[in-house]
Amino acid sequence: MARRGFFVTGTDTGVGKTVVACGIVRALRSGGLDIGAMKPIETGVTEAGPLDAMALQQAAGGTDTLDDVCPLRFALPAAPNVAASHEGASVDLLRIEEAFERLAARHDAMLVEGAGGLLVPTAEGSTMADLALRLGLALLVVVRAGLGTINHTRLTLAEAGRRGCRVAGVVISHGSAGISEADALNLGCLRDELGEQLLAEIPPLEQGEEASRYFDALSLERVIDCV
């Protein structure tokens, strides 16, 4: 069943999924849409807690329990199946679905941040793409601004299509370091190729700066309702 919202994936780990996801959630909520957020599996979790999930929980108003926002947490900073089996555990997809349904019932739309990229393994024989399909959410793909991004973006979009995932759009995130002149020209090629599929481009943010101002709530809502 198609659900209202986004499954945020990326061309890689560390590309800006959480920065973009929090920005989208904050922009939509200030535009009046009650969107909930979830990071169903977080790995590399220390005593400080699941940092991505905590950021998303706050962005979504801070009223959902962390156990629902992030039902599965593992210490090893590795792919979910690897991190889980390192602890003698497994990735319980049913627990994710149950938490998702509880949150979806409390909100008008949902944003879910995946771990790593689209084909990262979750449970045995299953990937983030399968999780997006299972939750019924359209993909929002976060991509880097630097060299290599045309190839990574094309691969992710092609694979999403091959697996029958709906794609809501792409967001380019620059990261904290600037890009070279060659990278900027390269990026122009990607922008042209993506056309309307490019929902936003986040420049290098200052320390502590939110990405929400780079999103237009009305356009995002239109995308949610059209995809």
Ligand X SMILES: Nc1ncnc2c1ncn2[C@@H]1O[C@H](COP(=O)(O)OP(=O)(O)OP(=O)(O)O)[C@@H](O)[C@H]1O
Residues annotated as catalytic (active site), given as ranges: 39
* Start-to-end C-alpha separation, the chain: 13
- Specify the residue, 75 or 218, whose C-beta has the smaller distance to Mg ion: 75
Q: Tell me how far apart the alpha carbons of residues 27 and 30 are, in angstroms, rounded to a whole number.
A: 5
Distance between CA atoms of residues 136 and 5, nearest Å: 9
Residues interacting with ligand X, by CB under 6 A?
10, 13-19, 52, 116, 173-176, 202, 204-205
Nearest C-alpha neighbor of 112 from the set 100, 94, 98, 125:
100
> Nearest distance from residue 219's CB to ligand X, in Å?
19
Residue 130 interacting with Mg ion (CB under 5 A): no
**CB 2 → ligand X: shortest distance, Å?**
25
Q: Is 26 an interacting residue with respect to Mg ion (CB under 5 A)?
A: no
Taken as a whole, the chain contains a residue count of: 227
By CB under 5 A, residue 18 contacts Mg ion: yes
What are the tokens at 40?
């169903």
Nearer to ligand X, 36 or 80 (CB): 80
Q: Which two tokens stand for residue 175?
A: 């990261």
Indicate whether 17 belongs to the interface with Mg ion (CB under 5 A).
Answer: yes
Interaction site with Mg ion (CB under 5 A) = 17-18, 52
